[in-house]
Amino acid sequence: MNDTVLTVILFTIVVGITVAVTVRASRTTSGTGDYFAGGRSFSGVQNGLAIGGDYMSAASFLGISGAIALYGYDGFLYSIGFLVAWLVALLLVAEMLRNSGKFTMADQLAYRMKQRPVRTAAATSTVVVSIFYLLAQMVGAGLLVRLLLDIDADNTLGVSAVIAAVGALMVFYVTVGGMKGTTYVQIVKAVLLMTGSALIVVLVLVKFNFNISDMLGTAQSNSGKPLLDPGLQYGKTFTSKLDFLSLGLALVLGTAGLPHILVRFYTVPTARDARKSVLWAIGIIGVFYLFTLVLGFGAAALLNTGPDSGVATSKGNLASPLLAEEVGGGAGSTGGAILLALISAVAFATILAVVAGLVLTSSTSVAHDIYNSVLRKGTATEREEIRMTRFAAAGIGIVAIALAIPARNLNIAFLVALAFAVAASANLPSLVYNLFWRRFNTRGAVWSIYGGLTSALVLVFFSPVVSGKTGVDAEGNTITAALFPLGVDFHWFPLENPGLVSIPLGFFLGWLGTVTSKEQSAEDRYTELEVRALTGAGSEKASGH
Amino acid sequence: MAQTGEPEDVAARHDPLYERMSESADFVELRRRHRRFVLPATIAFLTWYLLFVVMSNWASGFMKTQVVGNLNVALVFGLLQFVTTFLIAYLYSGYSIKRLDPLAGQLNDEYEKERRA
């Protein structure tokens, strides 16, 4: 089949570029400074693009536009929350973290606290958050290929083969390229994603003579739903309104607690470059989220989004690729096939870059925090640390793949929002307390990390997402909209996103743990942490190439 | 959990140089300037964002009001969140270049000089 050949060629080109970039980067990688932090020698602009590439995941490209196509304004909250969240990173975290840390999120806690408990806690939450995020990307990869190769939803063999291939590639990037390779892959991806989505946005707007109001009106009339008004998805009951609030809170507070984003601040020479990279990232990401508005409402205006449509049955995840096919000339046309293949290849690159960043970050934390600092008490050589990273990468990949299979029926943006809730509950409190509160200590850090992490996970497990939520299929039958099949229902927590409870709890436990214990050394060392964080005195230097 | 007092488990004693720096007038001023911007700005944008979320939930009648064409208050409010985010980022960039970087750079130079001495 011609379309399939074209698709395979484009996918091969994307994979080929990223492999070439990774191999090239590996030639200048030696030692942990290069491998874990890219030699700290990327410029602000390069890192800004890489942050964009790391952050704009399948959730942004596939999930948000799908959520907007199906639920309109309520889906738009994702775009807004994901962007505003960058101010937390810019104002409170980026520069101070660059100055006070080394390779991982745990470094700046370990700087003034008891190494082993805080490193173990921070590494645990790093791995858990990354796995949540990873499985969303895996779901996206499986869906894309299913669409392109026309595989049935029930054909698990085909989908599994694809997921295994993505897994192999991800281990390759991390093993061979380290942080340098991953950064270049993310830069390439950011450029591809921005160009590809700009093209679709222009083609959609051409259909409406660049009249956005007209597009919005058509979206409402074509879908037959009040897409432009708040509340289509979340406005029905008081509980669902609380869910909207919970989601909003998780989105805005999650970004600055995402480990794979935090480590990007270590790849630049100075705090000033870290700030500059966040400013660039805000610009790129902001423009992209404006694009999602056009992609989402454009899909609602131009595509069938009824209950048995491709958009609805994929929970919105395929809205962007199907929109590309439509503006290229529709299904069956050559233009449509080309654009569909092109956008799918871009989405695939998006997934690969994010997956590489996630796996590198979490396996670095396992090797640097758990293996070297906790188990080997700091005696492991750089070679041993890097070798350990490779084992960890494979292990984390396998867990993510295993979890992705039961989660394949959920919206990707929704899945990522759960990762944000976990990050905001487990990581953000200890980060902010550590940088701004002298009294903060080991018990506070450990309580807030484990408390935030456990409460978020437990609440998700007993939420309607895991069991009890139902939906209606095209024939009007009641079907399960949860992970467990129809009839299994053990949920007692009413909200789908745990943030509203678990984030305040993480902050509260951090405070409680701190005030119930006394740790003079942590308070003394705060002096050094603060001076270093604000001035850069004594911070890790860029390597000399 | 590990006991306090195990040498490899407790962060090493810190360099007294940091103690002196943290008491210097320049550093006290740097910290004051830093907090004077980031804390109010954080409170401001979080309040503004939560106002948007809360109004979407509980003031949907007002949010549905048409502004121009099919654009309603809700969408305009959402787009304004983009504008304020870009604006705060821009203001912070200018503020830190003018008010924070020179002081931080000067303190860092002093640190390097004393380390070498």
Nearest residue on chain B to A236, alpha-carbon basis: B57
- Give me the pLDDT at residue B93, please: 96
Contact A120, A463 (CB under 8 A): no
Contacts with B, A 500-529, CB within 8 Å: 519, 521-522, 524-525, 527-528
3-class DSSP state of B76: helix
A chain contacts of residue B38, beta-carbon cutoff 8 Å: 91-92
- Give me the pLDDT at residue B1, please: 36
Q: Nearest C-alpha of chain B: how many angstroms from A70?
A: 16
A chain contacts of residue B8, beta-carbon cutoff 8 Å: 115, 377-378
Q: Write out the two tokens for A315.
A: 């929970």
Q: Given A113, A282, A530, which is nearest B85 (Cβ)?
A: A282
- In angstroms, the CA B105 to CA B111 distance is 10
Q: Nearest C-alpha of chain A: how many angstroms from B116?
A: 12
Nearest residue on chain B to A272, alpha-carbon basis: B101
Q: Given A87, A272, A532, which is nearest B88 (Cβ)?
A: A87
| Residue B5 within any structural domain of the chain | no
Q: Inter-chain contact A527–B18, Cβ cutoff 8 Å?
A: yes
Q: Inter-chain contact B104–A111, Cβ cutoff 8 Å?
A: no
Contact A370, A116 (CB under 8 A): no
Tell me which long-range contacts A288-291 makes (C-beta under 8 A, separation of at least 24): A288/A52, A288/A56, A288/A60, A288/A193, A288/A194, A288/A197, A289/A60, A289/A64, A289/A79, A289/A80, A289/A82, A289/A83, A289/B82, A290/A79, A290/B82, A291/A197, A291/A198, A291/A201
- Give me the pLDDT at residue B3, please: 37
Per-residue pLDDT of chain B (117 residues; tens, 9 = 90+): 333 333 444 445 567 888 889 999 999 999 999 999 999 999 999 999 999 999 999 998 899 999 988 899 999 999 999 999 999 999 999 999 999 999 999 999 999 888 887
Q: Inter-chain contact A87–B53, Cβ cutoff 8 Å?
A: no
Q: Nearest C-alpha of chain A: how many angstroms from B91?
A: 11
B chain contacts of residue A218, beta-carbon cutoff 8 Å: none
Overall domain count for chain B: 1
- In angstroms, the CA A386 to CA A391 distance is 9
What pTM was computed for the model? 0.92
Tell the residue number behind the tokens 């990327």, with chain if given. Answer: A42
A chain contacts of residue B72, beta-carbon cutoff 8 Å: 228-229
Most confident region among A13-17, A128-132, A346-350, A541-545 by mean pLDDT: A128-132
Q: Which residues of A337-351 are buried (b: 16+ CB within 10 A; e: fewer)?
A: bbbbbbbbbbbbbbb
- Give me the pLDDT at residue A2, please: 62
The pLDDT tens digits of the residues spanning A468-511 come to: 888 777 677 887 778 788 888 899 999 999 999 999 999 999 99
In sequence order, which residues have a C-beta less than 8 Å from that of residue A513 and are 6 or more positions away?
Answer: A441, A443, A444, A445, A446, A447, A448
Mean pLDDT along residues A104-119: 91
- In angstroms, the CA A223 to CA A319 distance is 13
* Percent of the residues in chain A that have a pLDDT greater than 70, as a whole number: 97
- Give me the pLDDT at residue A348, please: 84
Give, in degrees to the nearest 5, the angle at Cα A201 between A200 and A203: 65
Q: Inter-chain contact A230–B1, Cβ cutoff 8 Å?
A: no
Most confident region among A171-175, A177-181, A324-328, A348-352 by mean pLDDT: A324-328
- Give me the pLDDT at residue A86, please: 96
Bigger pLDDT: A512 vs A167: A512
3-class DSSP state of B5: coil
Mean pLDDT along residues A352-356: 87
- Give me the pLDDT at residue B7, please: 41
- In angstroms, the CA A348 to CA A68 distance is 21
In sequence order, which residues have a C-beta less than 8 Å from that of residue A183 and are 6 or more positions away?
Answer: A25, A38, A42, A46, A47, A50, A267
Q: Inter-chain contact B49–A286, Cβ cutoff 8 Å?
A: no
Total CB pairs under 8 A between chain A and B = 175
Q: Nearest C-alpha of chain A: how many angstroms from B11?
A: 6
The pLDDT tens digits of the residues spanning A203-221 come to: 999 999 999 999 999 999 9
Dihedral angle over CA of B34, B39, B41, B45, nearest 10: 150
Q: How confident is the model at residue A154 (pLDDT cuts 50, 70, 90)?
A: low
- In angstroms, the CA B72 to CA B80 distance is 12
Contacts with B, A 226-285, CB within 8 Å: 228-231, 234-235, 241, 244-245, 248-249, 252, 271-272, 275, 278-279, 282-283
Contact B36, B99 (CB under 8 A): no
The lowest-confidence range among A268-277, A293-302, A368-377 is: A368-377
- Domain locations in chain A? 3-22+40-535
B chain contacts of residue A245, beta-carbon cutoff 8 Å: 53-54, 57
Q: Nearest C-alpha of chain A: how many angstroms from B95?
A: 12
Q: Nearest C-alpha of chain B: how many angstroms from A390?
A: 26
Mean pLDDT along residues A281-307: 94
| Residue B8 within any structural domain of the chain | no
* Percent of the residues in chain A that have a pLDDT greater than 90, as a whole number: 51
| Residue B6 within any structural domain of the chain | no
Report the Cα–Cα distance between both ends of chain A, in Å, rounded.
Answer: 48
Q: Nearest C-alpha of chain B: how many angstroms from A534?
A: 7
| Residue B15 within any structural domain of the chain | no
Most confident region among A323-332, A360-369, A504-513 by mean pLDDT: A504-513
Contact B38, A91 (CB under 8 A): yes
- Give me the pLDDT at residue A497, please: 92
Bigger pLDDT: A171 vs A318: A318
Question: Running DSSP on this structure, what letter comes out for residue A98?
Answer: H
- Give me the pLDDT at residue B12, please: 54
Contacts with B, A 280-319, CB within 8 Å: 282-283, 286, 289-290
- Give me the pLDDT at residue B8, please: 44
- In angstroms, the CA A311 to CA A320 distance is 9
Biggest CA pair distance of chain B: 69
The lowest-confidence range among A287-301, A382-396, B49-63 is: A382-396
Q: How confident is the model at residue A152 (pLDDT cuts 50, 70, 90)?
A: low
Domain residues for the domain of B88 are 22-116
DSSP codes of every residue in A40-81: G---HHHHHHHHHHHHS-HIIIIIIHHHHHHHTHHHHHHHHH
Mean pLDDT along residues A124-153: 82
Which CATH superfamily is A3-22+40-535 part of?
A: Sodium/glucose cotransporter (1.20.1730.10)
Nearest residue on chain B to A91, alpha-carbon basis: B38
Residue A82 has pLDDT above 60, yes or no: yes
The pLDDT tens digits of the residues spanning A463-473 come to: 988 888 887 77
The pLDDT tens digits of the residues spanning A239-249 come to: 999 999 999 99
Q: Given A220, A249, A536, which is nearest B104 (Cβ)?
A: A536
Q: How confident is the model at residue A544 (pLDDT cuts 50, 70, 90)?
A: low
The lowest-confidence range among A166-175, A207-216, A234-243 is: A166-175
In sequence order, which residues have a C-beta less than 8 Å from that of residue B11 and are 6 or more positions away?
Answer: A110, A111, A112, A113, A114, A115, A521, A522, A525
Query: Mean pLDDT of all residues in chain A?
Result: 89
Residue A100 has pLDDT above 70, yes or no: yes
- In angstroms, the CA A331 to CA A309 distance is 13
Task: Write down the ipTM of this complex.
Answer: 0.91
In sequence order, which residues have a C-beta less than 8 Å from that of residue A70 and are 6 or more positions away?
Answer: A233, A300, A305, A311, A312, A315, A316, A319
Q: Inter-chain contact B82–A290, Cβ cutoff 8 Å?
A: yes
Q: Inter-chain contact B21–A535, Cβ cutoff 8 Å?
A: yes
Size of chain B in residues: 117
B chain contacts of residue A281, beta-carbon cutoff 8 Å: none
- Give me the pLDDT at residue A196, please: 93
Beta bridge partners of B71: B68
Q: Nearest C-alpha of chain B: how many angstroms from A132?
A: 25
